């Protein structure tokens, strides 16, 4: 089974999609996929689907969704299309049982009721050793962090970049999220920002500041109150000979922090701001050329580039 979460939900068994289109079973599959190969208690599943309180027939409805997912799994395992007349696409009639319309095992002895198994008061989605993009992301990120700690910047940039490349969009995009999935989405987004932060640090350490500027400009606009990203943006601009642009980035950060609860920049960002001012004051007068909202200085000024490298 191959699971993709870092973007729209995609779960495939035997190369065939088992992701339902109906909202509730899709949400159920998303939560099972988030904890793939682990038992998710029934109470957790019910809280996710009915956060305001489960209705009287909730257990029967949950079982109906489970049977529907198993029917999709059985069809994927055997290569057969689900039979018509379902309660909704992929949900079998009660008389068809949990194995799906064929009631047979699929490839390599896997059967629907073992792929989506009832265990210890809950359900477990068995990936059978297939791929899971969150686990791939976490492995690559871990390798990148270890490389950063060892001072191996080229390897850190490579492995952290591999982790970021697994993201296709927002996690669980297109899935109605309850409390558990919202918390997992927030965790994954925070993890991605942490990896991004370290990837940028590795790239800056490798002297790739000019190449980073366009991407950091987009990221800073997307996260107007993220101090780390704006600080890295300022450093990349400063080392590219663009002190005035770095000052503009700082002003935009201040505005973003004010909108985000009236906060002020941290001491680290204030020190960086003073460094940028020192660089600007030590160089020739500005060249009044404007592009993409930034005041630009020629990047060929050797004195500015050298001073920027010493201050940051």
Q: Report pLDDT for 85.
A: 43
3-state secondary structure of 17: strand
Question: Looking at residue 238, what is its pLDDT?
Answer: 93
Token pair for 72 = 């999709």
Helices (H), the chain: 23-34, 42-49, 58-78, 112-115, 133-149, 153-165, 179-205, 209-222, 227-239, 243-259, 267-281, 302-311
Handedness of CA 93, 94, 99, 103 (dihedral sign): negative
Tell me, what DSSP letter sits at residue 6? S
* pLDDT (0 to 100) of residue 104: 44
Name 194's Cβ contacts closer than 8 Å, sequence gap at least 6. 141
Q: Is 100 exposed, middle or buried (0-12, 13-18, 19+ CB in 10 A)?
A: buried
Q: Annotate 138-164 with b (16+ C-beta within 10 A) or e (fewer).
A: bebbebbbebbeeeebebbbbbbbbbb
Model pLDDT, residue 186: 95
pLDDT for the residue 296: 40
Count of residues making up the chain = 312
Mean pLDDT by 10 residues, the chain (312 residues): 94 94 95 96 94 90 95 88 46 40 53 92 94 97 98 97 95 93 96 95 95 94 93 94 94 94 93 92 61 41 42 44
**Distance between alpha carbon 255 and the CA centroid of its chain, in Å?**
26
Q: Give the burial string for 295-305 (b: 16+ CB within 10 Å, else e).
A: bbbeeebeebb
Task: For residue 171, give every residue at least 6 positions away whose Cβ sits within 8 Å of its Cβ, in sequence order, or none.
Answer: 5, 6, 7, 184, 185, 188, 189
Write out the two tokens for 269: 């960002």
Domains of the chain listed by start with CATH number: 2-125 (1.10.10.10), 208-312 (1.25.40.10)
Question: What's the CA gap between 178 and 271, in Å, rounded?
Answer: 42
Sign of CA dihedral 226, 217, 9, 198: negative
Contacts of 193 (CB under 8 A, 6+ apart): 223, 226, 228
**Cα–Cα distance list, 71 to 65, 91, 302 (Å):** 10, 6, 68
106 vs 32: CA distance, rounded Å: 21
């Amino acid at each position: 089974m191959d699971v993709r979460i870092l973007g729209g939900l995609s779960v495939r068994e035997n190369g065939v999609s088992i992701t339902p289109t109906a909202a509730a079973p899709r949400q159920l599959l998303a939560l099972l996929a988030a904890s793939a190969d682990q038992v998710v208690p029934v109470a957790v599943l019910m809280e996710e689907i009915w956060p305001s309180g489960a209705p009287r027939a909730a257990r029967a409805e949950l079982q109906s969704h489970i049977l529907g997912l198993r029917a999709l799994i059985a069809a994927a395992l055997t290569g057969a299309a689900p039979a018509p007349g379902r309660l909704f696409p992929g949900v079998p009639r009660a008389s068809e049982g949990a194995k799906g319309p064929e009631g047979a095992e699929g490839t390599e002895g896997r059967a629907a009721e073992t792929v989506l198994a009832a265990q210890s008061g809950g359900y477990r989605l068995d990936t059978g050793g297939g791929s899971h993009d969150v686990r791939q992301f976490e492995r690559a990120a871990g390798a990148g962090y270890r490389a950063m700690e060892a001072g191996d910047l080229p390897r850190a940039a490579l492995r952290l970049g591999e982790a970021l490349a697994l993201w296709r969009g927002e996690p669980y995009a297109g899935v109605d999220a309850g409390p558990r999935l919202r918390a997992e989405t927030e965790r994954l987004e925070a993890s991605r920002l942490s990896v991004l932060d370290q990837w940028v640090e590795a790239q800056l350490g490798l002297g790739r500041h000019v190449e980073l500027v366009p991407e950091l400009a987009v990221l800073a606009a997307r996260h107007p109150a993220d101090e780390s990203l704006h600080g890295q943006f300022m450093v990349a601009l400063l080392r590219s000979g663009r002190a005035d642009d770095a000052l503009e980035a700082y002003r935009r950060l201040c505005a973003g922090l004010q909108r985000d609860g009236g906060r002020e920049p941290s001491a680290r960002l204030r020190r960086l701001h003073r460094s940028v001012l020192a660089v600007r004051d030590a160089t020739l007068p500005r060249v009044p050329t404007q592009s993409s909202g930034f005041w630009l200085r020629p990047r060929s000024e050797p004195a500015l580039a050298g001073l920027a490298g010493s201050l940051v």
